[in-house]
Amino acid sequence: MAENYDLLVIGSGPGGYVAAIRAAQLGMRVGMVERARPGGICLNWGCIPTKALLRSSEIYHLGKAAESYGITVENLRFDLPAMVERSRRVAQQLSAGVQSLMRKNKVAVIEGSAKLLGKGRISVVKSDATTEYEARDIILATGARARELPFAPSDGNRIWTYPHALTPPEMPTDLLVIGSGAIGCEFASFFADLGARVTIVEMLDRILPVEDEEVSRFVTADFIRQGMTILTGHRTTALEVEPGRGVVATLSGPDGALEPRIFSHVIVAVGIVPNTGNIGLETLGVATERGHVIVDDHGRTNVEGLWAIGDIVGPPWLAHKASHEGVITAEAIAGLKPHALDRSRIPGCTYSRPQVASVGLSEARARELGFRVRTGTAPLSGNGRAITLGDPDGFAKTVWDDESGELLGAHLVGPEVTELIQGFVIARQAEATAADLFDAPFPYPTVSRSMHEAILAAYL
């Protein structure tokens, strides 16, 4: 006889485990299925270990600049395996933390690979054993995986996707990064700070294409100053591993001309693929579009009792977006009336050097939508805290609706801006106007003062 739950959650990433906890808090008997380690890709092979590596390269970069701070560092060197080992420890620590949270909230963790069998029914396979479970409601939170290039799948040796780049078998000397989103730029920063010659190839006309154009231009110039090569408007048409030489990449430029170049290693960072295959969607006739499950504003699919959250329901493919969806869906299942998710209030962060953070509309997008736009920009070159940090490069930019005073978007680039963006997120959530923010005191000296100056610059 199948074991019965009120709710079964398939996947234990930031969407799944948060949904499971919230449902348990609301009195449901919850089972959560996970085929690998609790925490999903984010905690184990994505957000967390990546940031741990970036912290190591940041400290190495600061060590090289120590003399400018009045500090002498002799025989500075890095140990790549030790960096990787630290990042794995951090990931394991947080994964163990999720397991502890499951015990604390009395969520049953079911190990194995799940598949939908019918309405309210799943099977879970572990080793050679198959067990069936039933539940009134099921949440799909199976996440996503790295997209591969069809003409050159990753081999973990010379051609990497992000899991390979997190545990590199060796230090690259000449690295090609294909794709310039957050993942591509973060790995480019990490390996460049450790001394690799880095080339970024982006098929669009600018790197970080989802960010405001001013941010993209600034980061491009900064990366070039660091010694990186940026090739926008280029496609990679072929990758061929040549033993003893590396990888021959054939690049196609804006004029269509093909150019072969040799690199020691390649990182493919061209997006993700939702994990919606082989989980039984076709059994229930679950509606999908381009591989993503179609849901309403609260996570309902077209099948009664079946819900979906996180990367499998579409962009933005961010951990905090998945967690927010998890809470909304759990509360909807419990019969509450949660507010629908407003994706325009979801911030995005890139932890490269320099860091990038944003929320809401870019200036160009706001104009496309017909707003009468007013903008304000404040450079960090005059910011006291940024100068004391020795990192006065960057800026804060705000985008406003001139008619209502609504904050349409905010864009930050510079030191620790990923920690600052939440101020603008709260402002958008609270529907604060420029007038509301004019009189808000910002502490001095902080980098956050640039946020206030970018608000004032739009109107004064």
Query: How many beta carbons lie within 10 A of that of residue 157, not counting itself?
Result: 12
Q: Are residues 135 and 280 in the same domain?
A: yes
Q: How many domains does the chain have?
A: 3
The verdict on residue 89 lying in a domain is yes
Are 301 and 295 in contact by the 8 Å Cβ rule? The answer is: yes
Residue 415 maps to which CATH number? 3.30.390.30
Q: What digits encode the pLDDT tens for the residues 161-193?
A: 999 999 999 999 999 999 999 999 999 999 999
Which of 317, 343, 369 is the C-terminal boundary of a domain?
343
* DSSP string over 270-323: S-EEES-TTSSHHHHT--EETTEEP--TTSB-SSTTEEE-GGGG-SS--HHHHH
Q: Are residues 327 and 360 in the same domain?
A: no
State how far Cα 427 lies from the chain centre. 22
What residue numbers bound the domain in which 237 lies? Answer: 159-270
- What pLDDT, on a 0 to 100 scale, did the predictor assign at position 1? 63
Q: What digits encode the pLDDT tens for the residues 130-149?
A: 999 999 999 999 999 999 99
The verdict on residue 328 lying in a domain is yes
Q: Are residues 135 and 19 in the same domain?
A: yes
pTM: 0.95
* DSSP string over 427-446: HHHTT-BHHHHHT----SS-
Q: First CA to last CA across the chain, in angstroms? A: 71
The verdict on residue 348 lying in a domain is no
| Token pair recorded at residue 114 | 């799940």
| Token pair recorded at residue 435 | 């007038």
The verdict on residue 152 lying in a domain is no
- What pLDDT, on a 0 to 100 scale, did the predictor assign at position 256? 87
DSSP, res 207: S
Closest to 251 (Cα-Cα) out of 106, 266, 243: 266
Q: Are residues 172 and 266 in the same domain?
A: yes
Closest to 356 (Cα-Cα) out of 230, 226, 454, 214: 214
- What pLDDT, on a 0 to 100 scale, did the predictor assign at position 460? 86
The verdict on residue 151 lying in a domain is no
Which of 343, 377, 405 is the C-terminal boundary of a domain?
343
C-alpha torsion angle, residues 280, 282, 288, 294 (rounded to 10): -60
Q: Are residues 216 and 255 in the same domain?
A: yes
The verdict on residue 154 lying in a domain is no
Q: Are residues 170 and 311 in the same domain?
A: no
Q: Which residues of 360-390 are buried (b: 16+ CB within 10 A; e: fewer)?
A: bbbbebbeeeebebbbbbbbbeebebbeebe
| Token pair recorded at residue 128 | 């050679």
Q: Are residues 79 and 190 in the same domain?
A: no
Q: Are residues 424 and 389 in the same domain?
A: yes
The verdict on residue 433 lying in a domain is yes
pLDDT-flagged residues of the chain (< 70): 1
- What pLDDT, on a 0 to 100 scale, did the predictor assign at position 65? 96
Q: Report the percent of the chain where pLDDT is more than 70.
A: 100
- What pLDDT, on a 0 to 100 scale, did the predictor assign at position 182? 96
Q: Are residues 34 and 134 in the same domain?
A: yes
DSSP, res 385: H
Are 433 and 406 in contact by the 8 Å Cβ rule? The answer is: yes
Q: Are residues 297 and 318 in the same domain?
A: yes
The verdict on residue 203 lying in a domain is yes
Q: Are residues 295 and 383 in the same domain?
A: no
Are 424 and 407 in contact by the 8 Å Cβ rule? The answer is: yes
Q: What digits encode the pLDDT tens for the residues 357-373?
A: 999 999 999 999 999 99
Q: Which residue has the tokens 């600061």?
A: 62
State how far Cα 44 lies from the chain centre. 13
The sign one gets for the Cα dihedral 382, 384, 390, 391 is negative
Q: Are residues 323 and 290 in the same domain?
A: yes
Residue 37 maps to which CATH number? 3.50.50.60
Q: Cα separation of 455 and 273, whole Å?
A: 38
Which of 343, 368, 394 is the C-terminal boundary of a domain?
343
Phi and psi at residue 53, to the nearest 5° = -65, -45
